[in-house]
Every structure is written in structure tokens, then in C-alpha cells.
Amino acid sequence: MRFYITTPIYYVTDVPHLGHAYTTVIADVLARYHRLRGDNVGFLTGTDEHGQKIARQAEAAGIAPRAYADKFADAYRATWKALEISNTDFIRTTDADHEALVQELWKKLEAAGDIYLGEYEGSYCVACEQFYTEKELVDGKNCPIHKRPVEVVKEKSYYFRLSKYQQPLLDHIEKNPSFILPRERRNEVVSFLKGGLTDLSASRTTFNWGVPVPGQGSDGKHIIYVWIDALANYWTATSRDTLRGFWSGDGQIVHMMGKDILRFHAVYWPAMLMSAGLPLPTTIFAHGWWTVDGHKMSKTAGNVVDPLKLAQDLGVDAFRYFVVREVPLGGEGDFDHEAFLQRYNAELANDLGNLLNRTLGMVTKYAITPHSMAVDPFATARTQADYAAALDGFAPSRALDDIWALVRKGNAYIDERAPWKPDAPRAEILGNILELCRVLSHLLEPFLPERAAAMRAQLGLSEPMAWPSWSARSFRTEAAVPLFPRVDDARKHELLERWRPRPAAATAAASAEAAHDARISVEDFAKVDLRVARIISAEPIPKAKKLYKLMLDLGKEQRQVVAGIAERYKPEELVDRRVIFVANLKPATIRGVESQGMILAAGEAEVLGLSALDREVPVGTKVR
């Protein structure tokens, strides 16, 4: 059977963190599980590189957007390699084949009569790359996600007739209970749909970092809305050799993602597919959100978890295991560094690591050739059925519970059968444990690909990974090397010290973000009352060689201000000059002289220039 699984394509705005790694690891676990079952697996991840957000960041960094994207696309690729992600392709929305096919998809929507030209007027959040209705805004002006003012956009825009698909989508969801999972998320989408759909603004004209709308002539300025471009990746990639045939309507198509972007996947994307006459995905699964030590993960808080750092310190598989085991898929999770070490020692080093290690130790000590019996004392087949049901039902943490039930049975069996007793049938007892470890090495592969391979090497096996079944056999084992060396208290402290957010780094990141957040809205700017003023007179202030006391004419009134321009201008140079004046500043007393406002100037001492207007404008006129 064909099994096609995708992750979101990630924005090239930064290097991957825990959240991105989580989605990708989950998708990898499912991909590897399906390979184990003998399915033909396609697994796609990649990067989302067009749109205003990337264009602006690249511009701020002073690099061309594609070069900017290269850097982060490489970081994503490298991270996935380090985390043993087994994707069969990696798509970038700037890949030429993708761009061409996005235009093909657009033409299909157009051919269905679902594209029309209109004008968009409303709010846009660049960080979300999303339009918001007035109703959705917080305090009438802020993005509900970023809590920052949205931008007001007014431009010609092509529209996609999304409203037409309201009922077809509701019908499809009702007929296909596993189309949107988990159930709570499906209910959210259903109530959103029932609230009514408006058509989707599907093109932008005010910047050009994107895929041009096809067929608009050479002077056309429209580029395809970045989310349409991005969502299309799941389909465009299936024209590549690596994924050919995966969008043909047989087999499964699974989109894995965080709950933040469910609406795009569960509403816009299927509507587009319906319009284009293409098959719909089988399942859209939205998982929950990770926090870190109880707090929202953000650069501002300085607590962004770097999966590579954890993997370097404790092993890739330890990281993979923890994130999958800690939270039932779909639920919310907290990344508690101590809990990570706790599970590592108890479940990986102790339960699993020891099972293999102590057994191999005894094989060497007693110099025997272990041999498993035909009858399976652990009923592994039954557990395998539970494990498969769990994974087929998107419950990987439950599949791990099933595996650990077997691991514990194995350890209990050793204690009970006591192979160290002089008359114990050691070859049989240890053989059975090794056969259990062999079965486990297959079942663990989706979760711990690297350590599963190490297990098999120690078991002296070279058989290919496949769905295992218990059998009688002899083992020629290798020397025991702990799979997961225990972390003692000293090392634990050292690791926690390294992993936990550092206040200094946190502050630097916070001020960078604060600077970004310090941008003001037009309304904020309008609070400053700037006026054209004429200087009537300028006189020195005793014992303050930099300062003048100026009298200003504002038309309806006169004002006295203190200005630090005495080193650069002579009084007679100033008289009659028009300057820009801040009229609503709170008065202040400088060197005993009251200053009732401020004139605008740039620079200081030697290099100083007064604000000026390039032609005569009546005094008192507002400056905007």
C-alpha cells in the first residue's frame, strides 16, 4: 500500500527548534512504521520561502531573498539529517518545478471558474501571512496570534471562490471521520465552516517575491498568495521521481502539523483540491503545542530549545524518544529538562538498556550459545497487534507503552528464571531474552533508528528491518556496550546547566525582539503634534555654550524653547528660518529656562543640521 506523509514546509526565518523537530520526528516515526509494515512510503518535508515575511527579513539582512532562504533551508536539511529523519524528498517553494506546477494548479482553479478579479481591502498580518476580518482582530487592530498591529491593505486582488466549498467540505468531513484528527480539532473546523466562508484573496501586488499569477500579461503584478503556493507543495512534489504516484487517490495521504495551521490545511487546501478535481488527503492531523519548563517558547523568553544540542549531549534517539513518549499525540506538552533526564535514566538506560546489557554480560560470563525456544513466553504477537493498532490510530506514545510492557516482562523473566542459578537452563533463558530483544529492535526502529541498529549489531544480526515474528534460533552475539549510558548526578547537573536558558542570551534576544516590537502604528505617530514654526529670535543662555533660547512663531501663538544648536549657528543665521517643531511636548526647564517644545535637528556639535522645508509653508501648518 502507498503511504504518503508530509510535514508543514517551514518558514526560512530561523533555524529549526523543538516545535519543528517534533512535527518532523512524529512524521518520521509514522513513515518508518509504515516501511516496517512493507508499505511503499513517501515522506516529504521542506521549506516555505516566498512571501512578504521572508522578503522583508532578507531585505533587512541586506541579502537577496533566495540567498537568505538558502542559509536556513540548509540548516533544516542538516538538522533533519542529524535527527535521523528519513524523508524521501525535500521541497523548497523556490524550486523551479514547484513554481511551474503552482501555476498549473492555479490554471485548474481558474478553469473551474473559481478565480475572479476584485479588490481587497482589509487587514493582513505579515508574520502569519494571513488576512484577518475585523471580527477576528484583538482590540480592533491587533493580530490575534502575534498581538501586534496588523497592516491595512488595499489592492487589486484575484479571489478564490472559497465560499462555494463550504457545504462540500462539511459533507466530506461528515462522511470521513478520520479526515481531521483529533476529534476536538475536527469540531473546531466544523464550527468554523458553519460560521460561513468568504472568498479568499488569492494574489498580492505590492511586492514580487512569489510565483506570478499565470496568464496576466507581461505587465501583470499579481503574485500568488503565499499560502496557496505553500500548500500546493504536497501535490507538486508528487510529480518528482521520488514521489511519483503518491497523489493518485489510492493509499493514504497524511498531513501532519501543529494546530496553529490547521485551518489552512483543513479548509483552504481541500477546497482548492476539490476545485482542481484532485484527490483529497486521507487525514489531516493537528498536534498540540510545546511549552518549555512551563513557559511559552520564544526568543524573547530566551528559552528556545535546540534539538541538536540535546541530541549531541544525550543522543538523537534519546531526544526522539522523549518527545514522542512524553505527550500523547494531539495533546499539549511541556519540555521539562529534568523530566527528559529522568525518563532517559529510568526507561532508556535502566529498562531497555539493561535488558540487553545484562543478558549479553551473562552470555559472555557463562560462555554459552543462547538459543530461543519455539514457544514465545512473552506473547509478543499480541503486543505487536496493540502496537500496530496504536500507530495506525496515530497514538505513537501508546505504541511505546506497549513496547515497554514487553521490556518489563523481559526483565521480570530474568529475575524469575534466575539464569545465574547453577542448574538453570541458561542457553534457553538467555536465548528467549535475546529473541525478545531482536523483536524489540524491529519494533523500536521507527522511534530509535540509531540505537535499534546498535542493538541488532550487538545481537549479531544483519537481517533487514521488517515486521518481526517470534522464532527459535541461535545467537552469536557481540560484546555488550551500554545502549544508553546512565547519567549520574554530576553529569546531570552539568547538562541542566548547559541546556537551561541563560539569562544573558535571553536579554539579548529580548532586546532584539523588543526593538522589533517597538515599531509604532500610524495612530501612535499621529499623537506627535508636529508644526511648522518660524524662529523670531535666538539668544545665548549664560554658562551654557551649546544652548540658545529661541522664540518661535506658530501662527496663533508664540513659544519659547531651549535648543542645543549654539555651537553651529549664529543667532542672525537663525532668525526667520522655518523649522519643524514638536508642539505637544511636556514643558521642561533647562538651565533655569523653560522650554515649551522642541525643534527638530539632526546630528550634534560640528555636524548639525536644522530641519527645514523645501518651500514656504505657512507657520502653524501640521507636519505629517
Contact 622, 534 (CB under 8 A): no
The active-site residue, picked from 34, 53, 125, 287, is: 125
Number of H helices, E strands in the chain: 22, 25
Residue 304 C-beta: closest distance to ligand MSP, Å: 9
Does residue 261 touch ligand MSP according to CB under 6 A? yes
Nearer Cβ to ligand MSP, position 290 or 387? 290
Nearer Cβ to ligand MSP, position 256 or 443? 256
Among 23, 201, 275, 359, binds ligand MSP (CB under 6 A): 23
**Binding range to ligand MSP, per CB under 6 A, among 257-265, 313-321, 558-566, 571-579:** 257-265
Cell numbers found for residue 360: 549479553
Residue 493 C-beta: closest distance to ligand MSP, Å: 27
Write the binding mask 1 to 20 for ligand MSP: x where contact by CB under 6 A, - elsewhere: -------xxxx-------xx
Nearer Cβ to ligand MSP, position 114 or 229? 229
Residue 201 C-beta: closest distance to ligand MSP, Å: 17
Residue 288 C-beta: closest distance to ligand MSP, Å: 7
Residue 352 C-beta: closest distance to ligand MSP, Å: 26
Contact 355, 437 (CB under 8 A): yes
**Binding range to ligand MSP, per CB under 6 A, among 70-78, 254-262, 407-415, 603-611:** 254-262
Nearer Cβ to ligand MSP, position 297 or 483? 297
Instruction: Measure the CA–CA gap between 101 and 29, rounded to whole angstroms.
Output: 29
Q: Is 546 a catalytic residue?
A: no
Nearer Cβ to ligand MSP, position 130 or 203? 130
Nearer Cβ to ligand MSP, position 26 or 316? 26
Residue 190 C-beta: closest distance to ligand MSP, Å: 20
Question: Which position has the grid cell 544525550?
Answer: 314
- Taking alpha carbons only, the member of 233, 212, 237, 232 closest to residue 224 is 212
Instruction: Measure the CA–CA gap between 491 and 224, rounded to whole angstroms.
Output: 52
Q: Is 34 a catalytic residue?
A: no
Q: Is 146 a catalytic residue?
A: yes
Write the binding mask 206 to 235 for ligand MSP: x where contact by CB under 6 A, - elsewhere: ------------------------xx----
| Amino acid at site 129 | E
Residues 262-301 that bind ligand MSP (CB under 6 A): 289-290, 297
The active-site residue, picked from 34, 53, 128, 222, is: 128
Radius of gyration of the chain (CA): 33
The active-site residue, picked from 107, 108, 141, 146, is: 146
The active-site residue, picked from 108, 299, 371, 546, is: 299
Secondary structure of 435-464 as H, E, C letters: HHHHHHHHHHCCCCHHHHHHHHHHCCCCCC
Number of residues that bind ligand MSP (CB under 6 A): 18
Residue 260 C-beta: closest distance to ligand MSP, Å: 5
Share in percent of the chain as helix, strand, coil (round to 5): 45, 20, 35
CA 20-467-41 angle, 5° bins: 45
Does residue 258 touch ligand MSP according to CB under 6 A? yes
The active-site residue, picked from 71, 154, 156, 296, is: 296
Nearer Cβ to ligand MSP, position 179 or 268? 268
Nearer Cβ to ligand MSP, position 192 or 289? 289
CA distances from residue 197 to 160, 173, 209, 263, 471 in whole angstroms, order as listed: 11, 15, 28, 12, 58
First to last CA, the chain: 65
Residue 327 C-beta: closest distance to ligand MSP, Å: 10
Residues 6+ apart with CB under 8 A from 182: 285, 286, 330, 394
- Taking alpha carbons only, the member of 7, 27, 16, 6 closest to residue 320 is 27
CA distances from residue 400 to 234, 359, 404, 433, 454 in whole angstroms, order as listed: 29, 22, 6, 19, 19
Residue 104 C-beta: closest distance to ligand MSP, Å: 17
Residue 257 C-beta: closest distance to ligand MSP, Å: 4
Write the binding mask 127 to 166 for ligand MSP: x where contact by CB under 6 A, - elsewhere: ----------------------------------------
- Taking alpha carbons only, the member of 102, 352, 327 closest to residue 231 is 102
Residues 111-130 that bind ligand MSP (CB under 6 A): none
Nearer Cβ to ligand MSP, position 236 or 372? 236
Going through 229-375 in order, the beta strands assigned E by DSSP cover: 252-258, 283-287, 290-292, 295-296, 333-335
Quickly list H helices, 92-205.
96-111, 166-175, 183-194
Q: Is 201 helix (H, G, I), strand (E, B) or coil?
A: strand
Instruction: Measure the CA–CA gap between 445 and 468, rounded to whole angstroms.
Output: 11
Among 48, 376, 402, 435, binds ligand MSP (CB under 6 A): 48
Does residue 257 touch ligand MSP according to CB under 6 A? yes
Sign of CA dihedral 44, 332, 290, 486: negative
Strand pairing category for 2-11 and 40-48: parallel
Q: Is 437 a catalytic residue?
A: no
Nearer Cβ to ligand MSP, position 239 or 357? 239
Does residue 260 touch ligand MSP according to CB under 6 A? yes
Residues of this chain that bind ligand MSP (CB under 6 A): 8-11, 19-20, 22-23, 48, 230-231, 257-258, 260-261, 289-290, 297
Active site residues: 17, 20, 125, 128, 143, 146, 296, 299
